[in-house]
Structure 1
Amino acid sequence: MTFSMWLAMAPLLMLLSLGPGPNNFTAMHNGIQVGATKAVIAVVGRNVAFSILMLISALGLGAIIVSSAFWFSVVKWVGVLYLFYVGVKTWRSASVVLEEHEMENGTRAKRGHRARIRQEFLVAISNPKAVLLFTAIFPQMLDLTQPVPMQFFWMGLTFCMTEFIAAYVYAMSGKQIRRLIRSPKGMKNLNRGMGGIFVAASAFLAMATRA
């Protein structure tokens, strides 16, 4: 892949990464709870999932999922149920106040890196729209006169980097929100709001089609 091709591709991938979606809302939620740095570390899980989906698409299996109503529905409804579960869990934790997530000497989350990484992974791997992205959009960027595997590699690497940047943007917005929320009532309303966003995301995903 030439540098000029990469320059043309990278801004598009950045825009795709910045779009609102379940993973970016997860980064925002983590930014609120534990700060931007830990939220961005959790994106490792998201990018592992996306790397798997990109490999599936590169091998041509993504086209099967996209074209098969059955398998598309299986992936979709797994994602719907998981997002709904996260939303309900967040809503039910509405009474948890911010001080329970912090210590005097700095922020220390109850949940460790591993739990947040796993959550990012599960949200990403169960979203069939990601398969559509890698199957329908990535091939449009290929130059068939150049080796395809290396082009997929650089597109995938670039996309993973833009996901870290996008997550940082959302996590920082969450961090700013956290500074405004100090009272138990404020934290309760915030958690309910984030829970509602995850449930709404599950509803939108439920309406997803292969078109």
Structure 2
Amino acid sequence: MSFSVWLALVPFLMLLALTPGPNNFTSMYNGIHQGVLPATVGATGRNLAFVILMSVSAVGLGAVIVSSAFWFNVVKWFGVLYLLYLGIKTWRAPVAKIDESSSFSESSSSMLPLIRQEFLIAISNPKAILIFTAIFPQLLDVAKPLAPQFVIIGITFLLAEYFSACMYAYFGMQLRRYLSSAHWVARVNKAIASLFILAGSVLASSSR
């Protein structure tokens, strides 16, 4: 893949990563409550899931999952239930006002739950498999070796996902200055919870 071709693909992959969705909503929520760095590190979870899904797609299993009604629905309904669980959990989360001057915990133990959460959201989204099985192959030049191209596109996409997580987390952290009362914290939590529930509902109504 030439540098000019790669450069032309970057904006597309960036827009793909920046599209609002459950993982980006999670980064925004974590940015509010944990800070930009922990939320961005948490995106390692989604990228681990994407590496697995890309590998599955590369060996042809992704197409099997997408074409199989049974396995597609298994993945889909796991994702639906997990998103609804996150929505209810976020809606019912304890509410306290946020001190904008308070520091964030950046220990590895505090980031592991964020990584796990992002991983479960991404791995249970059959639409992510569809991206890697239907969209990525269209970006490849069949006249050249496919494996190196797939790796380059995959790495670029993962970096775009980190950038997206950082942007959503930064936006979330900027909201902290407006969350000086428990009332506003509750409203933002419920808004993000509603986005999780909406995403779960959209996923539930999706088909192959």
Range of TM-score over shorter length = over 0.9
Quote the residue 1:26 is aligned against: 26
TM, length-normalised to structure 1: 0.93
Cα-to-partner distance string for 1:122-167 (whole Å, 9 max, x where unaligned): 0000000000000000000111111111111101100000001111
Structure 2 spans left out of the alignment, 5+ residues: none
Per-residue CA distance 1:87-124 (angstroms, 9 max, x = gap) = 1000001524435xx885x2238971000000000000
Q: Pick the aligned partner of 2:162 from 148, 161, 164.
A: 164
How many residues in Structure 1 have an aligned counterpart in Structure 2?
Answer: 207
Contact 1:30–1:39, Cα closer than 8 Å, also in 2: yes
1: CA distance, partners of 2:47 / 2:22: 14
Measured in 2, the distance between the counterparts of 1:36 and 1:2 equals 34
Q: Secondary structure at the match of 2:206?
A: coil
In structure 2, the partner of 1:198 is 196
User: Residues 17-166 of structure 1 correspond to what in structure 2 (within 5 A)?
Assistant: 17-99=17-99, 106-108=103-105, 112-166=110-164
* Contact preservation (8 Å) 2:32, 2:176: yes
Aligned with 1:188 (options 186, 189, 201): 186
Contact 2:40–2:165 at 8 Å: present in 1 too?
yes
CA distance in structure 1 between the aligned counterparts of 2:111 and 2:91, rounded to whole angstroms: 22
Query: Which TM-score applies when normalising by structure 2?
Result: 0.95
Give CA-to-partner distance per residue, 1:153-186, whole Å, 9 cap, x none.
Answer: 1011000000011111111111111111011111
Tell me which of 170, 175, 178 is aligned to 1:177: 175
Counterpart Cα distance in 2 of 1:35 and 1:179: 13
Q: Which moved more, 1:127-136 or 1:187-196?
A: 187-196
Q: Kindly provide the amino acid, as one letter, of the partner of residue 6 in structure 1.
A: W
Q: Work out whether residues 76 and 125 of structure 2, in 8 Å CA contact, stay in contact via their aligned partners in 1.
A: yes
3-state SS of 1:144 partner = coil
Q: Equivalents in 2 of 1:185, 1:11: separation in Å?
A: 39
Rounded Cα–Cα distance in structure 1 between residues aligned with 2:10 and 2:199? 26
SS of 1:146's equivalent?
coil
* Structure 1 unaligned spans of 5+: none
- Does the 8 A contact of 1:95 with 1:187 survive in 2? yes
